[in-house]
Amino acid sequence: MVMQYELKTMYKFEVEDLNAWFGSKQVLKNIRMKIRDRKVTAIIGPSGCGKTTLLRCLNRMHETTPNARVSGKVFFNGINIYDEDVDPVQIRRKMGMIFQKPNPFPMMSIYDNVAIGLRLNGVKDRKKLDSIVERCLRMVGLWEEVKDELNASGVSLSGGQQQRLCIARALAVEPEVILMDEPTSALDPISAAKIEMLIRNLAKDYTVVIVTHNMQQAARVSDYTAFLYLGELVEYGPTKQIFEKPRNELTEKYITGSFG
């Protein structure tokens, strides 16, 4: 019982022997890692190392790509999300996902962009929607900027604002986890800094997993860092340790910029 309790509180995800393929190409090999609750975990590594795939395996998005395949187990709150009787739709509702490029829905207003997740869940009460939309936009620091144009299209905003809108959209369904796939790579430095601050704030209430190719970003925002190379988890530990005293030679080479 005690063990189980600890497991529940400390770890949000437990990944066991996770393998993933695109067609016949194996992109993830026997990944085992535990991701802590209410911490920011960064996944770093050179291009093509499988970091995005690992992230997408956590909410069963990987399998939505044609020819993609997964084996292994991912425990989320102690439940294997790859179990046969688990509905991926229900799993995804508990996790928000932010993509490389902001992808608000252009035919929807700013308001509807945030409210859509709730509407998918069947929330129709206007007052409830209003209050959640406002709260989520405040959380991402967008409320003051857009409160007078909530009916404008989601793509009328700047790139950085759009990305924060996407984060608000993900937050609206009250997920337990936020998965971010290089969320600042398409943004200017100032917008990126805003998002990084936001990530630190989110870690108070949410488990954040962030894929980044920017090592400074990983060092700035994350509590734990995983280094992936050619589909294998090379090293995983507290960010401070990974960046200051990496145990693996490969990790050291990567973070000192010798390759990648």
Partner 1 sequence: MALKKYYFHKILNGEFKGDDMFKLVSNFFALSILLITGLMVYELVKGSWLSIQRFGPWFIVGTVWDPVFTQTFSTLPLILGTLTTSLIALAIGVPISIGVGLLLSEYAPKRFAWLVSFLVELLAAIPSVIYGLWGIFILIPFLRHNAYPFIQSALGFLPLFSGPIYGGGVLTAGIVLAIMIIPIVSSVSRDVFTAVPRSQREAVISLGATKWETCKIVMSYARSGIIGAIILGLGRAIGETMAVTMVIGNKFKILPSSLFDAWYTMAAIIANEFTEATYDLYVSALIEVGLVLLMVSLIVNILARLLIWRMMKFVRGVVQE
Q: Which residue stretch of 84-92, 191-199, 230-238, 240-248 sits at the interface with partner 1 (rule: CB under 8 A)?
A: 84-92
Q: Which of 10, 79, 107, 197 binds partner 1 (CB under 8 A)?
A: 107
Q: Using CB under 8 A as the criterion, what x/- string covers residues 41-70 for binding partner 1?
A: ------------------x-x--x------
Question: Cα separations (Å) of 184 from 16, 137, 161, 219?
Answer: 29, 18, 11, 15
- Nearest residue to 255 (alpha-carbon basis) of 220, 216, 222, 221: 216
Q: Which residue stretch of 33-41, 148-156, 199-207, 219-227 sits at the interface with partner 1 (rule: CB under 8 A)?
A: 148-156
Q: Does 116 bind partner 1 (CB under 8 A)?
A: yes
CB of 108 to partner 1, least distance (A): 7
| Residue 132 identity | I
Applying CB under 8 A, what is the total number of residues that bind partner 1?
A: 38
| SS3 label, residue 139 | helix
CB of 244 to partner 1, least distance (A): 34
Q: Which of 75, 169, 207, 235 binds partner 1 (CB under 8 A)?
A: 169
Which of 92/194 has CB closer to partner 1?
92
Question: Cα separations (Å) of 76 from 8, 53, 73, 95, 143?
Answer: 9, 17, 10, 10, 32
Q: Does 71 bind partner 1 (CB under 8 A)?
A: no
**Runs of H (alpha helix) within 37-171:** 51-58, 88-93, 110-120, 126-139, 143-146, 159-171
CA 72/CA 66 separation, integer angstroms: 19
CA 80/CA 94 separation, integer angstroms: 14
Q: Does 173 bind partner 1 (CB under 8 A)?
A: yes
Q: Which residue stretch of 15-23, 39-47, 166-174, 232-240 sits at the interface with partner 1 (rule: CB under 8 A)?
A: 166-174
- Nearest residue to 98 (alpha-carbon basis) of 151, 157, 58: 58
Q: Which of 77, 105, 141, 176 binds partner 1 (CB under 8 A)?
A: 105
CA 84/CA 176 separation, integer angstroms: 22
Q: Which of 46, 72, 141, 159 binds partner 1 (CB under 8 A)?
A: 159
Which of 52/217 has CB closer to partner 1?
52
Q: Which residue stretch of 134-142, 149-157, 189-197, 243-251 sits at the interface with partner 1 (rule: CB under 8 A)?
A: 149-157
Tell me the two tokens of residue 26.
């194996």
Q: Using CB under 8 A as the criterion, what x/- string covers residues 184-223 for binding partner 1?
A: --x-------------------------------------
Contacts of 189 (CB under 8 A, 6+ apart): none
The binding site for partner 1 (CB under 8 A) comprises 59, 61, 64, 89-97, 99, 101-108, 116-117, 120-121, 152-153, 155-157, 159, 162, 166, 169-170, 173, 179, 186
